[in-house]
Chains A and B, each alone.
Chain A
Amino acid sequence: MIASLGPDLPQDLLAATGVHAGLLPWDIDRETPAADRWLESKFPRWTYSVLQDWLDGRLDHLDAVVFSRADDGAQRLYYYISELRRLGEVGGPEPLIFDVAKIGRASSAQHMVASVRKLAERLGVGEIALERGIAETNVRRANATAAADAQPGRVCLIAGTPPPDRRLHGMVERAGWIAAGETLGDAWADPGPPVEEGTGDPFAALARQLHARRADVRAFFDRAQALEAQADECGALAAVLWFAEEDDARVWHLPAQRDVLARIDIPALILTRRDWRANDGVDAEIAAFLQGGAA
């Protein structure tokens, strides 16, 4: 079995292996004494949980884990685990990295094709299997879109750093609102828009989809505009912009996102430098916001 970790991974290719167990899970509340030895403070909390699992042997049932280069936590963890394996500090599955190139130039687009081919070769996925994987994943995409029913009620969009699980969503719901917005796991498991089928070169087709995706911190797009579109799509009447302490990428768009929400009259609770565990009084702040000013 293989697992994966990070954004912009080739879900169609992973599905085509027939042995993809999905994203590695994390528990950000757990103690991580062994991982603390190796990871510096700017690593996001979920990396500690993953490394602790690795060090504890909880991932020994896996043959390999595919990391993404499109997230700093994921890509650095790949190098750290590779080195810890070399040093004999840890065993477990083989770490692999999927190289993601997002710059809007031909050289990056071509590099992405090469990356897909390289990983496919490493995982033993040929052209026919990948074409089948694309078709199956496209069905999954279509089913997911059809199943997304809107619920009645006031919607609060949670944006900023995708939270590690649904605990922020629960806080919104306990305040009597409907919570919208992806968790980190949702975002990384999302296979994105459909991949073109029957092109004769499924590797290139998948690479084109990945190169164009706007799903991670490495993509180039206007994040204020994207937030406005997201708020519009889910019918948000309020927003919580939550940024984890270790997020040093998405925060650069906070002023523009704050301004766009003000312009479209969506009240926003802005929470920066927050603990991944949401144990810093955020529940009371969300309740006060949604039951007070935003209500």
Chain B
Amino acid sequence: MSEATGQRSRKDLACTAAANAYQKQFGIDLKRRVVDEGEPFAIVQADTPHEIFHVMDIPIITNQWWSAYISAKQLSNQYFEVMARHGFPENSCKYCSLGLACTLANDPKSAPWGGLPKPTVLVARMTCDCIQHVFGQWAEALGSEFFPMEAPAWEHKDPRWFAHSRNDWQEIYDADRIALMVSEMRDLIALLENRTGRKFDEARLHHLMERINEQEGYIWEAAQAIGRARPCPVSIAEQMPNTMIPQWHRGSDWAVDHARRFRDEVMERIASGAGTAAHEKIRLMWIGAGVWHDPGFYQALEERLGAVFVWSMYMPFAGPQYIRELHGRPMDALASRICSMNEVLHLPPWMNGWMTSEAERCGIDACVVLLPPDNRLSQSGTKITAQSLEAAGVPVLSIDADMVDAKNWNHDRMVTLVADFLVARGLA
């Protein structure tokens, strides 16, 4: 397998370094708690109710974060080879299974943190056929238990869901689907209380949900401002960490404060006319997970072509999918946040409806879509969305690459691909 050819991204915001430093320290603290001190913890998918764990002060390791962590340490290829040695085909879903591969490798010398100890539970929503199999085997390998959550069918198909989801979540996400998830969350809480001795307090959840609303409100405010601003003050290379890192810690004092600080720095740059590129000419949209092995990719064409990646899903997602009017029912409000978190990003009409609207809001000139060849979930909805964007006058380039596997990625080749596309479509 080829080596990663990624480049580091440039940082314009002081808060970006602060977020990264916090996350680094969090990683150290998390390792101390779960590895050194043997505290109960859980391995969870990103689209599960992390809020339950936060309320119960149970540390969580998010599968996607752990995958990105392994990838950043350039261990992906080594672990993919481990999977092949175990007899798994090479095309098995990499983003979902890197953590399992690390466990199966059973090599404390090379594994981050020496490998993960036995968690109390592993939790995943079954949004794709592969997930229950990956998590089932991972739980078995760790000697733990898998708590699957249903991803029920969604028949209320409103392409403008994002305009109503904050208030009318019961209607948008279907009352039956919300009720099912609430029931599952209560079962999960019972399991956690039973295994850890820690108690869940619904009043604490209510407070946490209010704090999350405040946090995501700052992010959403900044996202709105970025959409309006010319030039774009902050590339997605900095939008992502300043949104996602606080989101891993959502509702905590640090997360709320950081979101406010990020908003303020964005506003300051807009007020001063600062742009991420010296001469912004082309505003780009990025659809897909971040290319974690090459963050410098997003800024590579800023100076040469004035092409700026203005939009990725993470930051603007804060408004429609996180902020919830609680209506005195925090568990239901939380369920409405989680029960479609994946669907709205990967299925029509929600994905194309939202992204087309966002392209218009942000004055997008062209879009680049990541199409991971071996990841059904990440591919899902991209062609319909590309067609919707093209129909709305936004040229789209799809690139076959994986967010954690650097094998098919070459920085220079990918940058050239985007540049050629922009030239071919008359934008550069």
Contact = CB atoms under 8 A, between A and B. Distances in A.
Contact of B380 (A76, A252, A255): A76
Contacts of A250: 133
A101 B349 contact: no
B129 interface: yes
Contacts of B159: 86
B376 A72 contact: yes
A83 B93 contact: no
Interface string A66-105: 0001011001101110111010000000000111010101
A102 B157 CA distance: 23
Interface residues of chain B: helix, strand, loop or mixed (majority) = loop
Interface in B191-249: none
B380 A86 contact: no
B328 interface: no
B88 A251 contact: yes
B347 interface: yes
Contacts of B271: none
B176 interface: yes
B352 A83 contact: yes
Given A105-B187, A252-B133, A255-B88, A40 B348 contact: no
Given A248-B130, A254-B88, A38 B387 contact: yes
Contacts of B132: 218, 220
A277 interface: no
A252 B126 contact: no
B150 A41 contact: no
Interface in A222-263: 243, 245-246, 248-255, 258
B2 interface: no
A249 B383 contact: no
A218 B126 contact: yes
B349 A248 contact: no
Contact of A107 (B86, B187, B375): B187
A248 B96 CA distance: 11
Given A69-B153, A71-B129, A254-B87, A80 B384 contact: yes
Interface in B372-387: 373-376, 379-380, 382-384, 387
B92 A108 contact: no
Nearest to B159: A86
A218 B129 contact: yes
Interface of B: 86-93, 126, 128-130, 132-134, 136-137, 148-150, 152-153, 155, 157, 159, 176, 180, 183-184, 187, 347-349, 352, 371, 373-376, 379-380, 382-384, 387
Q: State the 4 A-B residue pairs at the shortest beta-carbon distance, nearest first.
A: A83-B348, A252-B133, A255-B87, A42-B376
